Structures are given as structure tokens and as C-alpha cells.
Structure 1
Amino acid sequence: MEIIIITPAAPGSKAGNRATAERWKWLLEGEGHRVSVMTEYHGEPCDAFVALHAWRSHGAIQSFRRCWPSTPLVVALTGTDIYYHQKKYPRETLAAMDAADVLIGLHDLVVQDIPLQYSSKLVTVFQSADVGLREPIEAEDGAPFRICVIGHLRDEKDSLRAALAARLLPLVSRIQVICVGKPHNSQWQNAAEKEMRENSRFQWLGELEKPELKKLMVDSRLMVISSIMEGGANVVSEACRAGLPVIASDIPGNQGLLGDDYEGYYPVGDEHTLAALLRRAESDPSFLKKLAHQVDELAPKFTPENERHALERALALAIQRCPRQRQGHLGN
């Protein structure tokens, strides 16, 4: 098939949408498809069209549907689509969802947060990671207990919540919070720099390349996912595949990946409970071991093979659901 993937994130961007688009291109090309990733759409023909982000790609989605009403359309829903844009900008967001033959959700609980009439269109695709399993770090007397926070610094990520929690820890704690990611704006940059000046337990490294990110995960004892909204963060998949224990905010986007019985949740925005969990992970080896066991058990669902198969299911369903679509594309 000739497939177009549209994303609002430009080439070279480290935004999650761009990373997802490039990974899907690689996965689908591994199945023999020919895939183009674009940021703008000008009516080019294809056998299937995949749009990342319902609201941000709304114009491209409507343009595609006008140009090619008989071609399957798949729309992948982001966290801001589900938990913000469908309420703030319902006309554009719901029009994009309505135009789609298939909707992709990136975690198990998306169905609870979209209009009921779209639930039959929904296919879950867990984002994958190729990170190999890491060896657990043995505790050493006096060594820092490193906790990583990975993701662009912005409101949706609540990026400094772990740093605020670290301020509440007792003096005997060896916890150090290492935060990486590009600031969304100057306010976030100023906030991170101010936090470093005032909080000896916090370090912000800015935006890192992938090898440096992998090394940070290897060197860390724990990862904190503090977001107030997520569509299904790929960094959770990476942590699970790396065997890195996670403490996460109790939002659907995290619970839909880690499951209801995961023991590392805290109430979103609550640095006091987060601080208590961080201290417990540092001081109670059995708790940290339990979290590591749970992420190890989750790791198999975040493999590239599973993500590729889910994408193929979404494309096949889009062809099936598109009533005007000519038969015979898949497998030609």
C-alpha cells in the first residue's frame, strides 16, 4: 500500500508525534508498504491516510476526505485530543473523528473518554520500544538514588512535580531528580533554571539525544511520569521494556498502560504523596523490587512486533469500514 502519515511535528523535531510517525513509517515499511511522512497535505493520492492528532491535523483530514472520499482514513488520538481539544474545540476535533474510518487510541482506557458513537471505530495500538532489559542497579552506600523525568517541559506534563516532591524529603535521603526535555516556552525554561538554583536535589539537562536518554534510564533507579493528561506516553513503554520501575500520576493515560493493579500511582498534582512514594522506593527494597517485577511483566505488550500487528489491524479495519473503498489493496 501507498500510505501517507500526516503529523504536525516538523522533521528533526523530538516531539512525541514526530517520533510516533517515524516509528510507524519504519514498522509499516517492514511489512512492505511505501510510507511518506508529511507535515502538510496538498491532495496527494494514496491507498491509506493516517493522521496523527485529530485537532492539529483537522485541516489536512478535511482536505484529504474532500479529495479522496473513497480512500481509508485513520486518525490517531493524542492526549490533548482526548482530554482537552474535544472540549475546547469540539467542532474541529469531533469533525476529524467523524471523518475517520478508524480511530487509534494509545492506551486501554481511551474508550471511556470519547463519545460513545465513536467507540466502534477504536483500535488500541500500544507504542513500542526497542530498549533491552537493564540490570537492576545495586544500592551503594552514599551513592545518589537517581530518579529520571523525561519529556518536554510543559503544563500537560506537570514537569516539575517530582522536583517539588524532592524538596519534601528528609535530609538523609539520597534522591536526586534528573529532568530532561525541551522547555515549551521561556516561562518553563525560567522555572527549571530557578528550581535548579533553589533545589539541590534537582538537575535539568535540557534536550538530550537518544543514546544519552538510554544511558540516563540505565543509570536511574526509578522514573516519574507526572503528567496531568496523556494519550499513552511512549516513555512508559520505554521504561517497561528497560525494566525501569515507574511512579506515575493516576490519570487514564497512565492507568491504561500500566493497569489497575499497578502499585506505583499517586494522585495527580500531589507532591506530598509522590514524596512519600519516592522515599518508600528509596528505603524499601521490596517495594522497588515489586515495581520492577510489574514493569517486567508489562514489557512484552510494548514490543515492535505487537505495535506493527496492531497497525495492520487498524489499516485492515479502515479498508473494511470505508464503504466506498475499492477492494484488494491489502496484500497487493
Structure 2
Amino acid sequence: MDASGMKVLFCVPFKLAEPKGNSVAATRLMAGLVLKGIAVEVAAPPQVEEPRVMTEWAKKFDPDVVLVFHAWRCRTAFKAIMEAGPFPQVVSLRGTDLNEMLDDPACRGEIRAILNACSGITVFHEAAATRLSTIDRTFTEKTFVIPNGVFLPSSDEDFRSRLGVPKESFVFGAVAGLREVKRPLMILPWLARLREEFPRLAWIHAGEPLETAVTHRLRELSLKFRWMYHVDLVGHSEIDSFLRAADVFVAASRSEGSPHAVREAMLAGMPVLLSDIPGHRNMATASHEALFFNGEVEFMHQARKLIQDPDLCRQLGEAARKRVENELEQKDEIASYIGMFTTIIQKGKGKTHE
């Protein structure tokens, strides 16, 4: 598909340098689109929060299509671009905007208005598309299912040595910003109780201090639990090594779309233990590609199985890796976005791209 000459404006809720899912996705998509000859400009905070700036940006850049990376957090930019002209806008529902805010009385009216006004909607899974159709059937014809891409460069850094984790430890690992929605610290008291049975347990975590209360709690727990090891940031070039420093990858989020960290762990061949939420359930088959938990009792039960059964860990990890590899082979993320942009442009909802 020849899309050279197309112009796309991204509106993202966080700066590209921040290790957030939206920023990682925008950086990856921009690189892929540019390789196809597409001109991409990125509006990030504080610009996306200033209506006049976004109106002028849209008029000056004159994009063929706009990709909005969060319905709620980029709502100011969306409205400003609407006022600037008939630019088709695609809203990417990526997590909390779909899973929580669409049901929140404080947000849902404005989000639904944006979804009604936009030219297209992207979601990661068929289940998300089905949920949208139950909210408003008119969303169905403009919803595109495009799985989240993933890129995992290989590396050989020894994070156990770097962090000082004893070699004989059985390690639970996690990658998540220190935010309440990610619930990164929820499992620590449970692991502490498991250590009474399995004293070799350790926990490693990578994630920026994003919310004060969660960051303060991490510091308190680090003084109490000497078997936990934290690093604020791991560069993407080394994330493969950090993931493989663990024996099991854990994600305890309250809400997700299709988190990069989980997909990267699966691609790395890690057994994954995931909170039982729709975003995670759509990524893996229970007991084949992942284990799931709701609360402490289920977590302890699943964790014991993984600690005591190396064959189960290996089988889960291999199945998870194969699933992600198969998905990447079947669905080219960049080609899917270009196809969607082309379809929307050709429908005449904006300028016709030559």
C-alpha cells in the first residue's frame, strides 16, 4: 500500500520520552509510518492542553488524518482540531478511557460525544469492539480492531547481579509505573506470607515514581522487605534482560487495554501471572498461556503452582511466546493503521489523499 505523501498528526497524553504505554506506542507507530513515507507530527503536553495552539497547529500542518491517543486526556486537542477544520480524527481507546471512564458519570458524556464526532475508533480486541457496539450501535461501522504491536530488542545485561539479587532466588518481576491503577505493590504482603513457605522468594520491579502516595508506600515497604529490589527506569534496549531476570512476570493492574509490558514478557517467553481483568483476559488463554488471579487467595494458589512446577513455567512461557509471535505474523500493525487511514480519507470525511 503506497501511502507516501500522507500527513498524520498524533495527539498524545504524555511526552514521548515518558515510559508510558501511549508514548511507547506513539513512538513505535511514528517510526513505522515514517519508513512508509508518511509525514508525522506529534502534539504532546503542554500543547495538547492548549486549544489555540492545537487549532493553529492543525491549520498549519493540514493533516490528512489525526490520531488521538486517549479520548479523555486529549479531549481538549480533539475539540480544538474540530474547530480548525474538517480534519478526520481517529480516537484510539487504549485502557482507562474504555474500561473505566466510559462508565464514569463525570466523563462518559464527553467521551461519548467525542466518539460520536470522530471519523474512526481503534481498539485492541474484538471484545472491546463488541462492548462499544452495546453502548452505541453506530460505533460499530467506524471501529477498527488493531492489536497493539510490540518490539523487544535482545540484550544480555545481568540484572540480578546489578540489583544484588541472590542467585538462588525465585524471582517475581514486574514492570509498571508507580500509579494506583497499576497496583504494583498489591502483591507484596502476599509474597511476604509466601516467603514463610518459600524463603528464597524475591521481587524485582521497574517503574517510574508517578504518583506520590504509591511512591511513598514503595519506600516504606523497601525498608520492611529486604527481598524487594526496585529500579526507577530500565531503557527499552535492556528491558529484555530485566524481564528474564525474573522467573515469573506479574501484572496486577486494575484496568488495561493491551499493556506493552505484558506483551513483552510473553514475547520473552516468561510465564505470566495476571490480574483477572478484561484487558488481560483478551491477551492470553487461562492455564495455557497465562495464569490469572482475583485477590490474595487465588494469587497464593497460582504462585505456589509456579514455584513448585518448573515444567508448568516453561510450558506457559513457550505458549505465551508463540501466541504473540503468531499475532505479529498475522497482523501488521503499521499496514493496519495505513489501511484504516486510507479508508477514512477515501470515505470523504476529510480531504481526499492523492
Common fold: TM-score over 0.5: yes
Is the CA contact 1:51–1:76 (under 8 Å) kept in the aligned structure 2?
yes
- 1:272 counterpart SS class: helix
Tell me the residue number matched to 2:136. Answer: 116
- The question of whether the paired residues in 2 share the 8 Å contact of 1:161 and 1:271 is answered with no
1:29 corresponds to = 34
Cα offsets for 1:163-188 (capped at 9, x unmatched): 23211213434221111111222211
Q: Bigger relative contact order, structure 1 or 2, given CA contacts below 8 A and separation 6+?
A: 1
Please, which runs of 5 or more residues in structure 1 have no aligned partner?
A: 136-140
Give the one of 213, 224, 239 matched to 1:198.
224
Q: How far apart, CA to CA, are the structure 1 residues paired with 2:41 and 2:176?
A: 26
SS at match of 1:75: strand
C-alpha contact (below 8 Å) 1:232/1:257 kept by paired residues: yes
8 Å contact 2:154–2:241 — kept in the other structure? no
Give the 5 Å matches for 1:115-264.
115-117=135-137, 118-131=139-152, 143-169=168-194, 170-259=196-285, 262=288, 264=290
Are the aligned partners of 1:231 and 1:253 in contact in 2 as well (CA < 8 Å)?
Answer: yes
Return the alpha-carbon distance in structure 2 between the equivalents of residues 234 and 142 of structure 1.
28
1:102 to 1:54, Cα distance in 2 relative to 1, 3 A: same
CA-based RMSD of the aligned residues comes to 2.5
In structure 2, the residue matched to 1:138 is none
- Are the aligned partners of 1:153 and 1:188 in contact in 2 as well (CA < 8 Å)? yes
**Map of 1:72 onto structure 2:** 88
Deviates more, 1:125-134 or 1:6-15: 125-134
Answer whether contact 1:129 1:304 (CA < 8 A) is retained.
no
Normalising by structure 1, we get a TM-score of 0.88
Counterpart secondary structure, 1:62: helix
> Matched residues in 1 for 2:299 and 2:331: separation?
34
Partner of residue 116 from structure 2, selected from 89, 92, 98: 98
**In the alignment, which residue of structure 1 is the partner of 2:161?**
none
After TM superposition, the score normalised by the length of structure 2 is 0.83
Letter in 1 for 2:188: A
Structure-2 change in CA distance of 1:261 and 1:62 (3 Å): farther
Q: How many residues align?
A: 322
Note closer, same or farther for the CA distance 1:263–1:239 as it changes in structure 2 (3 Å cut). Answer: closer
Query: Which residue pairs with 1:297 in the alignment?
Result: 322
